Structure 1
Amino acid sequence: MRNLLVFITFLSIVTMNAQDSKLLSPDTIVIGDVLTLGAPSGQAYQHIFFPRLNFIIKKGGTTNFKKLQGTKVVVTDKQATEGKTHITIKRKDGKKFLNSIAVVKVNLEAAAGAKEIL
């Protein structure tokens, strides 16, 4: 009887957590949505397309991608081509990414799968 009670409690908790989770899919994203940048997968973001580091440095920017983690961004454009969805994002606070880039393109499916964008 005790095992049954533990199992039912576990099942109800898992069900509640599954309903609360919000999945990021290309169909639910519209222009104006606010998203959050996650941790980079590696040294830099793989699916958020920043320019090469030498171009960022030439424009007077910084190359610390870890500072971007947790930054709120706004979707400004959405394009679906060849089974991929690319969105364009800018910072919600109006500042530039890495002090030199105003807008950035993102491969939505890959970035969401790698938890680079939440």
Structure 2
Amino acid sequence: MRRLLFIVLCFLGGGLALQAQQTQQTSIEKGTVFTINEPVADQYRYVLFPRKNFIIKRGGIANLKSVYGKEVEVVDYAYTDEGDTRVTLKRTDGRKFFRNFKTVDAYLEDALTAGELTK
């Protein structure tokens, strides 16, 4: 009897643990405006800017400080298989990122949690 009770409790506990690990997807609409903040580390993890060598090869200026405080809007979004929301962002002032890139991608929930993006 104890074994049966133990097995049932293990299944219930495991089911609750799996349900708790699911990420909460943020509801998003096209045109939502965010602000890019300074990253906590030395580089961005969840806003997917191109690498510096790629920016330089395309003739741009690889200065990440130029994007601090810039407002961006959501152009497109998609939900990944892992439960994340991947958004495509463009600047609201119409200029390009690093003089060459019209849009950049970001993982929305992670970027908001890390403070790289704010509403």
- Using structure 2 for the length normalisation, give the TM-score: 0.73
Q: Write out aligned runs for 1:29-40 (5 A).
A: 29-40=28-39
Q: What is residue 69 of structure 1 aligned with on the other side?
A: 68
Q: What is residue 107 of structure 2 aligned with on the other side?
A: 107
- Supply the distance in 2 between the matched residues of 1:109 and 1:46 (Cα, whole angstroms): 12
- Letter of the 1:66 partner, please give it: K
- Contact between 1:40 and 1:65, CA under 8 Å: does it hold in 2? no
Q: What is residue 4 of structure 1 aligned with on the other side?
A: none
CA displacement, residues 5-39 of structure 1 (integer Å, 9 cap, x when unaligned):
xxxxxxxxxxxxxxxxxxxx721x21011111111
Percent identity between the two aligned chains:
41
Q: Write out aligned runs for 1:1-118 (5 A).
A: 26-27=26-27, 29-82=28-81, 83-118=83-118
Moved over 3 A (4+): none
- Supply the distance in 1 between the matched residues of 2:40 and 2:61 (Cα, whole angstroms): 18
- Supply the distance in 1 between the matched residues of 2:42 and 2:63 (Cα, whole angstroms): 9
- How far 1:76 sits from its partner (Å)? 0.2
- Contact between 1:89 and 1:106, CA under 8 Å: does it hold in 2? yes
CA displacement, residues 49-83 of structure 1 (integer Å, 9 cap, x when unaligned):
11221110011111211221110101000101121
- Supply the distance in 2 between the matched residues of 1:55 and 1:98 (Cα, whole angstroms): 11
RMSD: 1.2
Give ranges in structure 1 of 5+ residues lacking alignment.
1-24
- Contact between 1:26 and 1:85, CA under 8 Å: does it hold in 2? yes
CA displacement, residues 93-115 of structure 1 (integer Å, 9 cap, x when unaligned):
11111112110010001100110
- Supply the distance in 2 between the matched residues of 1:57 and 1:103 (Cα, whole angstroms): 17
- Supply the distance in 2 between the matched residues of 1:67 and 1:52 (Cα, whole angstroms): 15
Aligned residues: 93
